[in-house]
Structure 1
């Protein structure tokens, strides 16, 4: 199952000690979950890059 979190703090994910936020952060359990999330995000927000 995938979780999409909005305005997610990235401080614990970087080594620079920079307080930054992701508009969307996705955590997933399988490759198929990731594929579904990417399809959904591309359909909902076609102009937003998926990294």
Structure 2
């Protein structure tokens, strides 16, 4: 199976949209997004510097 280099980034973005819709932006934590995406916090910071884009 071939994986896109950006598959984990896409998982984070999809997870963030879901969590933000449920909890609201200010209540959403990076840990919530990581849990929803099924990925680690280290992986999150590989793609993003912070919660703010």
TM-score, L = length of structure 2: 0.36
Of the two, which has the highest radius of gyration?
A: 1
- What TM-score results when the alignment is normalised by the length of structure 1? 0.37
Bigger fraction of residues in strand: 1
